[in-house]
Structure 1
């Protein structure tokens, strides 16, 4: 169950990010850690990747906003990063940016009605289909059957 402060923290982080030319991709509050850890994933507003300097500058801005907003009453560690590998693709921009990257697609198999997984290189996603290159062959999965598309680490072979 997500922490009840997540919506407020996401709103604050998104406001700070928008004013600085960034976009928030994810917010997690790990309250089981001592001190608790607030993790914020960030990308450039135009969809580009952030670098270490971007993360450091945003960290200072968000930290100041968190202190002023008094949302977190306890000590915390602030971690800023890019979404990186393992990111779930959802927007059209994601599918364009990661064309040719290895992905895992979870989908409902139309024949069996059960959940299945397929790995391959992302070719494209259009209005009706997700296209993958699986060992040199194009595999087309109906978009309506696709549950998730997630970046994965490349496999050797």
Structure 2
């Protein structure tokens, strides 16, 4: 799955206690350059979902914490939001929590002519993600071949 950058590793110690103090979960983190601007995107969640007040509270607290510690050298725009209905699964706890749910898996390199799979999450074990595919087939993917895993959005 996608690797975490050095900047993301450096700022994690600033983020996690602030988010945990507000009884929220850090779901994902991105530090990316888009056009001329750098963006620090922080995705938070809690049971029942987050609202605008949660995002605003975390944003204000993170601004103060990050400004005080100054772990990021370049100027950036801070964005705090919900992970959305197509939430990424990254941590071992995510794979346990969403076992039995339908997920989308995107691979770095095609397998059997496909780079994307959808199926019921069976679990993560020993670095391998297993899904029930097309109703009865079980397919296992090594984490190193997986670019992204998200909850599927089915209408």
After TM superposition, the score normalised by the length of structure 2 is: 0.66
Match among 17, 20, 27 for residue 19 of structure 2: 17
Name the residue aligned to 2:101: 100
| Per-residue deviation, 1:106 | 3.9
Larger radius of gyration: 1
Name the residue aligned to 1:141: 139
- Checking the alignment, whether the CA contact within 8 Å between 1:89 and 1:95 is kept in structure 2 is no
- Checking the alignment, whether the CA contact within 8 Å between 2:98 and 2:121 is kept in structure 1 is no
Compare 6-15 and 78-87 and name the one that shifted more.
78-87
After TM superposition, the score normalised by the length of structure 1 is: 0.66
- Checking the alignment, whether the CA contact within 8 Å between 2:11 and 2:72 is kept in structure 1 is no
1:48-79, CA deviations, whole angstroms, 9 ceiling, x for partnerless residues? 64333221211111111112223346543210
Supply the distance in 2 between the matched residues of 1:144 and 1:37 (Cα, whole angstroms).
Answer: 30
Supply the distance in 1 between the matched residues of 2:91 and 2:4 (Cα, whole angstroms).
Answer: 20
Name the residue aligned to 1:120: 118
1:25-51, CA deviations, whole angstroms, 9 ceiling, x for partnerless residues? 33222356555321112223xx66433
Matched positions, count: 149
Supply the distance in 1 between the matched residues of 2:114 and 2:35 (Cα, whole angstroms).
Answer: 35
Quick one: structure 1 residues 138 and 118, their matched pair in 2 at CA, closer, same or farther if it must change by over 3 Å? Answer: farther
Cα RMSD after superposing both structures:
3.9
- Checking the alignment, whether the CA contact within 8 Å between 1:106 and 1:115 is kept in structure 2 is no
| Per-residue deviation, 1:13 | 0.7
Gaps of 5+ in 2: none
